[in-house]
Amino acid sequence: MALNVTQKLIRDHLLSGEMTPGEEIGLKIDQTLTQDATGTMVMLELEAMGLDYAKTEASAQYVDHNLIQVDSKNPDDHLFLESATRRFGIYYSRPGNGVSHPVHMQRLAKPGKTLLGSDSHTCANGCMGMLAMGAGGIDVAMAIAGEPFYVKMPKVWGIELHGEMPDWVSAKDVILELLRRYDVKGGVGCVIEYYGSGLQHLSAMDRHVIANMGAELGATGTVFPSDDEIKRFLKEQNRVDDWIELKADKGASYDRNDEINLSELEPLVARPSSPGNVVPVREIAGEPIYQSYIGSSANPGYRDFAIAAEIVKGKQVARGVSFDINPTSRQMLTDLVEDGHIANLLQAGARLHQAGCNGCIGMGQAPASGRNSLRTTPRNFPGRSGTREDSVFLCSPETAAASALTGEITDPRTLNMDYPTISGPKSPNVDINLLDVPVTLEKAKEVKLHKGPNIASIPEMDELPDHLEIPILLKMGDNISTDEILAGGARVLPYRSNLPEISKFAFEIIDETYYDRGKESLKKGGHAIVGGYNYGQGSSREHAALAPRYLGLRVALVKDFARIHWQNLVNFGILPITFVHEEDYEALNQGDVLQLTDLRNKVQQSNQMEIAIKGKNKQITVRHALSDRQIDIMLKGGLINWVRDRQKVRS
């Protein structure tokens, strides 16, 4: 049978299950990626599991999120991560080395392999002919320990590219076009696979841009073939021996089909406050801006900065505009410096920041209140920038640079200049100086974990009760993101390894009283939340499940879930259920009390059950989508308990 690239990758890594869309499958994971906002918890989980050494072909820990050192919390955690990587046989990318996704692409990504990361944008490395997926931290910890990764077999959505992008249009506009068509739920349950004659005009880093924001479509992953362009990229990185060709078979088919004529695209922009709120730039041209921001894992390549540098070369940014440049790797930054692009940016008035995630996750560069920020980042969820009531637009580097010059959102095609021609760096650097390789198993056994005062162990989680009578503490609408459930940024992320402290920020963007009411609910058996469609979209941070669980969340009842957050809820023993009849959502109010009886039996016997609403003489019908394995995890109160019980049986 003719197979597409995604099917080949899954077939070659399938450990359990059938390749039938919607069925749970278990996959062998070759590589893992963790970053410091989520990786500290992963390392604590590895310690709790008693792991001696990583079982993967390559696992890497990147320090790219929490780089601001206003006190000892972040540097203390960096020391912990460094000691943990030596203890468990993991690569360690030091602070300042760059954002995980482009650095992993440069140094470790291999065509034909699987990659699981505790960051939702891990899918970016699908540009390399990999099956790269984001997941919760504990799923990644399990993969590092050699366990399969379980996921529902996705549909494969084939998108044929043809034509060539016109001047002033770039890869960001390709993925914004898909978001314009399908919004933030358009790729749910799918791996997006690109093919066609248009690929010859997309560089490896262009493909990274497109693959990165597949997460914003809700996709399980994004896959590109491994062709001559990927071979060229790996040769540039002195890793050509890692290349294999990986293409779809002739006659391969897809579960869904679409096409994009690259030559018909125009500059696009996503308006606040959703990546799916996309319109042509020309429609909102003239909106004043306070900030123009270039960088992040969504536009991490040399050309993304070089094109901006050429646009502003010899000019000055508009008065009152903060022109922020966030390099994405030291290696790429060195190339930009040597080729004069950084000088051009600085002379035009740019502010240069260190290589890292920075303002993309609210870690510095927050915009002024009541002002517009134009960014090349992947997300513009409310408050993600670090400013609570922000107004963030997403765009290409061309649009960001043009707008920095004019002080307002500007269609770059209206600039009175020729489109700059950008090739690669004149003498590409290969920089491995801040990427520490794993020590041997013998040396790893001698390493002691360095735990600063901000590190707190994960508390015990109790099993799923047989009876719950719990109030609804929050009722929310559609598209609630993990940034709204548990914010990122400089105030919050330093507590990533301290659950009691980070839980104080849970749902604060939605309801500042949640923390106190959640703690109070613990005395009476916990509480529930109710939400709409696409609940938990965005970041993979498991803290968005773990912190509410710590405050007594036992049931999440919504119209439907985003994939990674749904998995995280299961992993920490929070029952994720959905409405069978959508009108029941309207019938529920904050403060209503849900009564779930004979719960353990009902979860096992059927995927549907009735829930009574106390004092209302009403019952609603709900369903779960748990596999038999996940039901067992749920009954035991979460994945940590499940793993611990399995180890007891084995011993």
Query: 310 and 253 share a domain?
Result: no
User: Using CA atoms, how far apart are residues 184 and 120, in angstroms rounded to an integer?
Assistant: 14
Per-residue pLDDT tens for 26-55? 999 999 999 998 899 899 889 888 889 999
Is the peptide bond prior to 273 cis by the omega test (within 30 degrees of 0)?
Answer: yes
Confidence at residue 363, expressed as pLDDT on a 0 to 100 scale: 83
The predicted structure's pLDDT at residue 447: 95
pTM, two decimals, is 0.91
In the predicted model, is pLDDT for residue 176 greater than 90? yes
Domain edge (last residue) among 264, 290, 312: 264
The closest alpha carbon to 117, from 642, 576, 539, 569, belongs to: 539
Instruction: Tell whether 360 and 247 lie within a shared domain.
Output: no
* pLDDT average, residue stretch 82-102: 96
Q: Is the pLDDT of residue 549 over 60?
A: yes
Per the structure, the count of domains in the chain is 3
Are residues 215 and 71 part of one domain?
A: yes
CATH number at residue 292: 3.30.499.10
Amino acid at residue number 309: A
121 and 23: one domain?
yes
Q: What angle do CA 391, 395, 397 make, to 5 degrees?
A: 125
Mean pLDDT for the stretch of residues 253-265:
98
User: Does 218 share its domain with 273?
Assistant: no
Q: Is 356 among the domain residues?
A: yes
CB 441 within 8 A of CB 89: yes
Whether residue 493 is predicted with pLDDT greater than 90 in this model: the reply is no
- Mention every residue, 6+ apart, whose C-beta is less than 8 A from residue 599: 464, 465, 466, 467, 468, 575, 609
DSSP three-state, residue 436? strand
3-class SS at 277? coil
| 260 and 272 assigned to the same domain | no
Per-residue b/e over 34-66, b at no fewer than 16 CB within 10 Å?
A: bbbbbbbbbbbbbbebebebbebebbbbbbbbb
**272 and 251 together in one domain:** no
Q: Is the pLDDT of residue 386 over 90?
A: no
Structure tokens at 210: 């497109």
Residue 155 lies in a domain: yes
Percent of the chain with pLDDT over 70: 99
Is the confidence at residue 651, as pLDDT, over 60? no
Residue 131, in any domain of the structure? yes
pLDDT at 162 over 90: yes
Residue 649 is predicted with a pLDDT of: 63
pLDDT single digits (tens) 566-598: 999 999 999 999 999 999 999 999 999 999 999
- The candidate with the shortest Cα–Cα distance to 361, out of 161, 541, 510, is 541
Residue indicated by tokens 């106190």: 516
pLDDT score recorded for residue 376: 97
Return the C-alpha torsion angle 398, 400, 401, 404, nearest 10: 160
Distance of alpha carbon 480 from alpha carbon 474, whole angstroms: 12
Q: Are residues 278 and 221 in the same domain?
A: no
Distance from C-alpha of 6 to C-alpha of 123, rounded to nearest angstrom = 13
pLDDT tens-digit profile of 282-334?
999 999 999 999 999 999 999 999 999 999 999 999 999 999 999 999 999 99
Enumerate residues 6+ apart whose C-beta is below 8 A from 522. 551, 552
Are 79 and 183 in the same domain?
Answer: yes
Provide the mean pLDDT of the chain: 94
Residue 47: C-alpha distances to residues 58, 143, 542 (Å): 18, 14, 17
Of 239, 264, 289, the position where a domain reaches its end is 264
pLDDT at 600 over 90: yes
Length of the chain: 651
**Do 396 and 319 fall within a single domain?**
yes
Q: What Å distances lie between residue 494 and 224, 507, 511, CA to CA?
A: 35, 17, 22
Residues 237 and 273 in one domain: no
What's the pLDDT tens digit per position in 530-539? 999 999 998 8
Q: Is the pLDDT of residue 253 over 60?
A: yes
DSSP state of 466: S
Q: What is the predicted pLDDT for the residue at 343?
A: 98
Instruction: Identify which of 190, 133, 201 has the alpha carbon closest to the alpha carbon of residue 167.
Output: 201
Q: What is the pLDDT of residue 625?
A: 96
CATH classification at residue 547? 3.20.19.10
The answer on 535 and 486 residing in a single domain is yes
pLDDT at 648: 66
- Residue 615 pLDDT exceeds 70: yes
In a domain, 251, yes or no: yes
Does 365 reside within a domain? Answer: yes
Q: Is 528 domain-assigned?
A: yes
- Return the pLDDT at 388: 84
pLDDT score recorded for residue 389: 87
Output the pLDDT for position 71. 85
The beta strands (E) that lie in 300-356 are given as 322-326, 351-352
In a domain, 98, yes or no: yes
54-59 average pLDDT score: 98
d(CA 240, CA 233): 8
Asked whether the predicted pLDDT for residue 432 surpasses 80, the reply is yes
Residue 424 lies in a domain: no
Is the Cβ–Cβ distance between 404 and 373 less than 8 Å? no
Cα-flanking dihedrals φ and ψ of residue 498, to 5°?
-135, 90
Question: Which pLDDT does position 647 carry in this prediction?
Answer: 63
Instruction: Let me know the angle formed at the C-alpha of 379 by 282 and 125, rounded to the nearest 5 degrees.
Output: 110
**With left for phi above 0 and alpha for psi between -120 and 50, is residue 189 left, alpha or beta?**
left
DSSP 267-304: -EEEPTT-TT-EEEHHHHTT-B-SEEEEESTTS-SHHH
Q: Which two tokens stand for residue 145?
A: 């320990």
User: Which domain covers residue 640, as residue numbers?
Assistant: 468-650
How far are the Cα atoms of 19, 130, 189, 411 from residue 22, in angstroms, in the given order?
Answer: 9, 21, 8, 42
Please check the confidence at residue 207 and state whether its pLDDT lies above 70.
Answer: yes
Would you tell me the crossing angle of helices 397-406 and 302-312 to the nearest 10 degrees? 30
Residue after which a domain boundary falls, among 264, 281, 311: 264
Estimate to the nearest angstrom the gap between the alpha carbon of 415 and the chain centroid: 34
